[in-house]
Amino acid sequence: MPLLARMIESPLSVDIRHGAIDKLAELLADGRISTGGRVAIAVGPGLGDELMEILTPQLAQADIFRVRDGSVDRARELANSVRESFYDAIVGIGGGRTIDVAKYAASLAGVPMVTVATSLAHDGLASPVASLEHNGRKGSYGVHIPIAVIADLDYVARSPLRWLRAGVGEALSNLSALRDWWLAHEHRGSAVDGLATAFARCGGEAVLHHGESVESEEFLGLLAEALVLSGLAMSVAGTSQPCSGACHEISHAVDARYSVDGRHGEQVAVGALFASYLRNDGSAAPLDAALRRHAVPRLPADIGLTTEEFCDVVAAAPATRPDRYTILEHLALDEAEIRNRVDDFLETFDRPAA
């Protein structure tokens, strides 16, 4: 019998709504994840006390664990604690660091994981990847995809605008990453998955062309959906390539070489604009317009880098992902060429919008 369809690993449910945390016990029961509420809840330092007051009455059988940082060590500590008892699932509530710790801990402990997002600064809500710190460096770790993804728009609306703008940068960077993926296909024969491409492109294009403010309720829901689609794209592809190209190489190089106050989504936004400029295919102008519209960082100075530091980052970026082929590897610019391209990039985009 011919294979008529493929099985796709994805969350059993995706629930983007107001008041999700207030109804968490109900959502877990309705999804057949935990009818009795016997779950391990991982919360970050920012909202821990507030969340405990809300969750304790409705999930009396749950145990709450504080996540102090986004490291491999914290994930292992959580996994060890979970192994000492029986839980239906680990529920990670918070931002990217807390969710990634919960995802990795759940994979180590062999239990399902539920994402409950209170911010939209990252594309890890539904992804099979956890970004964690280890020995002073940040790395990516493969994990099981969350069994359910919940985004509480009440908390998202309360999160700092900077975090939302970082999420915009994450979603928009997909459009650059996809061009790198096709470049690798054309020059290296890398397989490109059409369904993964569709997921990643739909999320990125929706954000690219949406005219509402990042604070509007309509935009918050759309951004959450775009970030979930990014995670599904990675799951379908079995690689992060539909969402990670030269833009992410540049961000990883920033993390490795400089201590700047830049969130990941901000750094990949700058990387995506520079990579789009290098391609000279017409994609940079609409990306620049969207980044300007939502006040997302676009230039090295916006994330605290000098021109010289950014040149150094561009030179170092390919080494952060030796297996990737992006516009950076394709052009293979030397030091002088990098400086010329960066100078022209800044001259082109460091000016008021037309």
Mean pLDDT of the chain: 93
Encode 35-59: b = buried (16+ Cβ within 10 Å), e = exposed.
eebbbbbbbbeebbeebeeebeeeb
Q: What angle do CA 85, 105, 70 make, to 5 degrees?
A: 130
What CATH code is carried by the domain that includes residue 345?
1.20.1090.10
Q: What pLDDT sits at residue 52?
A: 84
Element spanning 142, H or E: strand 137-142
Backbone angles phi, psi at 168, to 5 degrees: -60, -45
Q: Residue 4's pLDDT band (boundaries 50, 70, 90)?
A: low
Coil vs helix vs strand at 2 = coil
For residue 41, the domain's CATH number is: 3.40.50.1970
Widest pairwise Cα distance in the chain: 63
Question: Domain span at residue 267?
Answer: 161-349
| Contact present, 237 and 268 (Cβ < 8 Å) | no
Q: Both 166 and 79 in a single domain?
A: no
- Predicted confidence (pLDDT) per residue in 337-352, tens digit: 999 999 999 999 987 7
- Identify the residue whose tokens are 């309360």: 158
Q: Are residues 143 and 178 in the same domain?
A: no
**Closest C-alpha to 174, from 147, 138, 149, 199:** 199
Last residue of a domain, one of 158, 176, 200: 158
pLDDT tens digit sequence for 313-322: 999 999 999 9
Residues above pLDDT 70, as percent of the chain: 98
228 and 330, same domain (yes or no): yes
169 shares its domain with 134: no
pLDDT tens for 155-197 read 999 999 999 999 999 999 999 999 999 999 999 999 999 999 9
User: Same structural domain for residues 175 and 274?
Assistant: yes
* Same structural domain, 269 and 300: yes
Task: Tell me if 4 is assigned to some domain.
Answer: no
Residues 56 and 121 in one domain: yes
Please report the pLDDT score of residue 221 as a whole number: 95
List 92's β-bridge partners, or say none.
42, 115
For residue range 20-43, what is the model confidence (pLDDT) as tens digits? Answer: 999 999 989 987 899 899 999 999
Q: Give the number of other CB atoms < 10 A from CB of residue 337.
A: 11
pLDDT, tens digit (0-9, with 9 covering 90-100), for 78-91: 999 999 999 999 99
- Angle between helix axes 264-279 and 284-293 (nearest 10 degrees) is 150
Q: Given this model, what pLDDT does residue 1 score?
A: 46
Nearest 5 degrees, angle CA 100-CA 293-CA 341?
Answer: 80
**pLDDT tens for each residue of 215-251:** 899 999 999 999 999 999 999 999 999 999 999 999 9
Name the band, by pLDDT with cuts 50, 70 and 90, for residue 2: low
Report the number of distinct structural domains present in the chain. 2
31 vs 259: which has the higher pLDDT: 259
